[in-house]
Amino acid sequence: MSYSSPSAPALRLGLPLALLALAQLIYALDLNIVFVALPEIGSDLGFPGQTQQLVVSAYVVFAGGFLLLGGRAADLLGRRRMFVLALALYAVSSLAGGLAPNAETIIIARAVQGVGGALLLPATLSLINTLFEEGPGRNRALAVWGGAGASGLTIGALLGGVLTENFGWPAVFFVNVPLAGLVAAAALVVIPRDAARGERRRFDLPGALTVTGGSTSLVFALVEGPELGWGNPMVVGALVLAVALLTVFAVVEARSSDPLMPFRLFRNRSLAVGVSVTFVYMATFGVLPYFLTVLMQTVHGYSALQTGLAFLIPSVAIATGTQAGERLATRIGNRATLLIGFVVGVAGTVGLAFGFDADAGYGLLVPGLVVSGVGQGIVWTAMWITSATGTPAHEQGVANGIASTTLNIGNAIGLAVFTVIADLGTEGRTGQSLRAATADGEFLVVLLTAAGMLVGLLVTVCLRNRPAVPAPVPHEVAADEAQVACR
């Protein structure tokens, strides 16, 4: 149910929103904060260069695999409960990661952090989408949340550099402990209690097990394929297992009277388009920070701190774009806003590509970082508004779990494809030749991400650009939900 009303005091909703935005910042920080610390982690704990990526992969794999389960849990077990549990997992696993004496411990800690992230993201989104009524109020709230999340992706690199250079790599884990702990404690006071459960609904254990196992296997294969090789038995086995489990999941859901992921939700065109745009977003915009980090550290030799500082400009640009996205969506509708965001993003990303030169300085990157960042922020806010539009309050958790799952899978597929392309000309090269080949490969990749954004434009055209019909109340039958959502 929605806790808000048209006359709800701004302060009463402002404090929960501040907490939800801070939680999203914590989630986003963890995606990138360890990148610049990887060399020190590897050196201190005895990681070979090839396996350092597991510190990142463990988080991505488990976050991607458990998102749909996390969304359903928020709907059935309570959004505030899952929000607090997720933050507690973050705090405990972060403490374990910072104290890790060996590689195995830190990888397990990152995996638990990933599960925490999978519970946190859909719980946070569904809280926003139930606390704030559909329309300008929710758009504004999603812009604040989106600004925290999109900026956190780049601030993570900055904070990681500062902490690593001044306090050592454990600091990138320890910083989460007080942050997550304080937000969890404050949530118990500030966020309204979960409503009493009405009609008892099943958790759909067969669906939960098959989709979680299938999603985790798929993300594992996509993340490790470029590292281990696509013919590696572990990668092939994970892909086969993913296809088998996801096929079983589809059969189970089609026959279930109370499915984990009701396929009728996709009759809501806004959700279907929002989910598709989310996939395209993370496969294109979402991979740029990785390649920028490689360019700055591997090609130009930036330190961890210098790399973090270099991300300040795109961080400000993205935050600006998220606020513009909210204003545009409220005034001209979701479709027009997404189209504008993608057009700006394509133009900025093409310009950004020309800064991927071994002999170019940071100044050549700046115009592209600014324009691309603004487009990225506009799309980020508008795609979440689109995904939430027309979905009933009691199913916001699973709808957000679906969108969040495509977020992670899109990023995993984008990185899997583009890292292979970027590395094509680097084999056997060393020194300046390797740096030049790396920059050339990334130049091509950035242009390809711009081309991928055009797919987002085509998908967005399918969206009707008019105000959405308000979401039906939870007690209405499924047929009425589908009819209302599709009008």
CA distances from 123 to 47, 65, 401 (A): 34, 16, 9
**312 and 153 Cβ atoms separated by less than 8 Å:** no
Q: How confident is residue 200, by pLDDT bands cut at 50, 70 and 90?
A: low
CA 353/CA 368 separation, integer angstroms? 8
Model-wide pTM > 0.95: no
Query: In the 8-state DSSP scheme, what is residue 300?
Result: S
Residue 3 has pLDDT above 50, yes or no: no
Q: How confident is residue 395, by pLDDT bands cut at 50, 70 and 90?
A: confident
Residue 467 has pLDDT above 50, yes or no: no
Residue 469 has pLDDT above 70, yes or no: no
What is the per-residue DSSP string for 150-198?
Answer: HHHHHHHHHHHHHHHHHH-TTHHHHTHHHHHHHHHHHHHHHSPPPPPP-
CA distances from 112 to 36, 308, 323 (A): 21, 26, 32
Give the mean model confidence (pLDDT) for residues 260-281.
84
CA 322/CA 377 separation, integer angstroms? 4
Most confident of 372-386, 400-414, 420-434: 372-386
CA 230/CA 236 separation, integer angstroms? 7
Q: Residue 180's closest CA among 248, 284, 91, 252? A: 91
CA distances from 459 to 39, 87, 258, 272, 335 (A): 39, 35, 30, 10, 10
Average predicted confidence (pLDDT) for the chain: 82
pLDDT at residue 445, as a whole number: 94
**471 and 391 Cβ atoms separated by less than 8 Å:** yes
Using a 10 angstrom Cβ sphere, with 0-12 exposed, 13-18 middle and 19 or more buried, the burial of residue 55 is buried
